[in-house]
């Protein structure tokens, strides 16, 4: 058995799209609870772009190779795997890194058996996206049926998951924002949002207040950061929760930004991330995904939307697609 494998690397350690290339690196050896998975497909995420550029704080246990979600076949196991996994099993899962490669070593606590009804490409697009949405909704914002919720970046992969989960799990109303009419229409007609607002052409906070008869929305899931900070405080309801998962719109607030709503509305603002969480925390989310969402993927109640599938030799083009913000669903690369 070869001790090396092919993997995507970044020339110089960090750089632009053109720095991505496929090279040979040592093949990982599984230990403890880990499995060595032969990768069939992997999903792209915005954190990959930041990590490629050297702007993402990678967890200490992560390999330098990009990629956190994948599907594939177990080739070997460490000496203490989770019960129920064996060599030859078809799986998908979430890793701390290393998925842009022919093989990835990952804890069996973060693996899920691949249903026969789903493709390799679909399964590679589930873990990071759907677990992040589940975490933001249930663990962080304490969502409960009957609450209203707004998902920013409504055509992004996490919001595609979150909008569907919210609608399926009894939200009183599900709102979304996006930067084009095409994407707002997609959020309503394809994903089931109650309404969606174009942040380039509409005052979306005022539209939310109008849609809720002045009450505001109970939960806001935000990936934008500083650019939407003031409007989030305007659109949130009394005792509402704003969950920040990203800073695509910057980190510096405009001078004069009022924080009065924190007291006047008793607003909770909480930041969260998934990749920096420990294995036990991530494992609980994996279990929730298996129990809560997997049956709905199989019977079609929840859609795994894949926008583009490319061979991994076209990894540069795959990153360009994500950078262009034109996709409505996952970008997936296949190996083999």
pLDDT tens string 90-140: 999 999 999 999 999 999 999 999 999 999 999 999 999 999 999 999 999
Q: Which helix (H) or strand (E) holds 43?
A: strand 34-43
Distances from the Cα of 97 to the Cα of 38, 68, 158, 263, 275, angstroms: 14, 5, 18, 40, 9
Shared domain check, 252 and 161: yes
Nearest residue to 149 via CA among 130, 132, 165: 165
> What value does the mean pLDDT take over residues 157-175?
96
> What value does the mean pLDDT take over residues 176-185?
96
Longest Cα separation, the chain: 65
Looking at 43-195, list the stretches that DSSP marks H as alpha helix, in order from N- to C-terminal side. Answer: 46-52, 120-124, 127-134, 157-168, 181-189
Shared domain check, 102 and 20: yes
Question: pLDDT value at position 178?
Answer: 96
pLDDT tens string 305-334: 999 999 999 999 999 999 998 899 999 999
Shared domain check, 236 and 149: yes
pLDDT tens string 252-303: 999 999 999 999 999 999 998 887 787 888 888 899 889 889 999 999 999 9
Residue 16 has pLDDT above 80, yes or no: yes
- CATH code for the domain in which residue 173 is found: 3.40.50.720
Q: Percent of the chain, pLDDT > 70? A: 100
Shared domain check, 257 and 151: yes
Residue 225 has pLDDT above 80, yes or no: yes
Shared domain check, 243 and 220: yes
Domain count along the chain: 2
Question: pLDDT value at position 277?
Answer: 82
Using CA of residue 233, residue 236, residue 237, residue 240, what is the dihedral sign? Answer: negative
Residue 157 has pLDDT above 80, yes or no: yes
Question: pLDDT value at position 1?
Answer: 64
Shared domain check, 153 and 228: yes
Shared domain check, 97 and 14: yes
- What value does the mean pLDDT of the chain take? 95
pLDDT tens string 53-65: 999 888 888 899 9
Distances from the Cα of 134 to the Cα of 33, 131, 140, 174, angstroms: 24, 5, 9, 15
Shared domain check, 207 and 266: yes
Strand partners, 269: 242
Which of 220, 249, 271 is at the close of a domain?
271
pLDDT tens string 58-88: 888 889 999 999 999 999 999 999 999 999 9
Which of 248, 271, 294 is at the close of a domain?
271
Which of 271, 306, 323 is at the close of a domain?
271
- CATH code for the domain in which residue 326 is found: 3.90.180.10
Shared domain check, 179 and 207: yes
Strand partners, 151: 176, 221
The model carries a pTM of 0.91
Shared domain check, 104 and 45: yes
> By residue range, what is the domain housing residue 297?
4-126+275-334
Shared domain check, 135 and 247: yes
Shared domain check, 299 and 174: no
């Amino acid at each position: 058995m070869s001790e090396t494998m092919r993997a995507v690397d970044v020339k110089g350690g960090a750089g632009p799209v053109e720095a991505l290339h496929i090279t040979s690196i040592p093949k990982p050896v599984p230990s403890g609870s880990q499995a060595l998975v032969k990768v069939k497909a992997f999903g792209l995420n915005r954190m990959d772009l930041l990590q490629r550029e050297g702007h993402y704080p990678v967890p200490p246990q992560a390999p330098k190779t990009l990629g956190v979600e994948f599907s594939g076949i177990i080739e070997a196991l460490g000496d203490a795997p989770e019960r129920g996994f064996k060599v030859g099993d078809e799986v998908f899962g979430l890793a701390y890194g290393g998925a842009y490669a022919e093989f990835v070593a990952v804890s069996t606590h973060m693996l899920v058996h691949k249903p026969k009804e789903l493709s390799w490409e679909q399964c590679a697009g589930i873990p990071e996206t759907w677990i992040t949405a589940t975490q933001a909704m249930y663990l962080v914002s304490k969502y409960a049926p009957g609450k209203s919720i707004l998902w920013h970046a409504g055509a992004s992969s996490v919001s595609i998951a979150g909008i569907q989960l919210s609608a399926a799990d009894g939200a009183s109303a599900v709102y979304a924002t996006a930067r084009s009419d095409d994407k707002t229409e997609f959020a309503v007609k394809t994903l089931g949002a109650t309404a969606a607002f174009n942040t380039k052409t509409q005052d979306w906070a005022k539209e939310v207040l109008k849609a809720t008869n002045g009450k505001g929305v109970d939960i806001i899931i935000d990936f934008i950061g500083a650019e939407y900070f003031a409007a989030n405080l305007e659109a949130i309801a009394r005792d509402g929760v704003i969950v920040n998962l990203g800073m695509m719109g910057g980190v510096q607030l405009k001078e004069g930004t009022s924080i009065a709503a924190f007291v006047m509305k008793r607003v909770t603002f909480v930041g969260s991330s998934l990749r920096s969480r420990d294995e036990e925390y991530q494992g609980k989310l994996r279990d929730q995904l298996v129990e809560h969402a997997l049956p709905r993927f199989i019977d079609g109640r929840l859609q795994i939307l894949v926008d583009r599938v490319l061979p991994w030799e076209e990894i540069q083009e795959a990153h360009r697609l994500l950078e262009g913000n034109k996709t409505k669903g996952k970008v997936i690369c296949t190996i083999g």
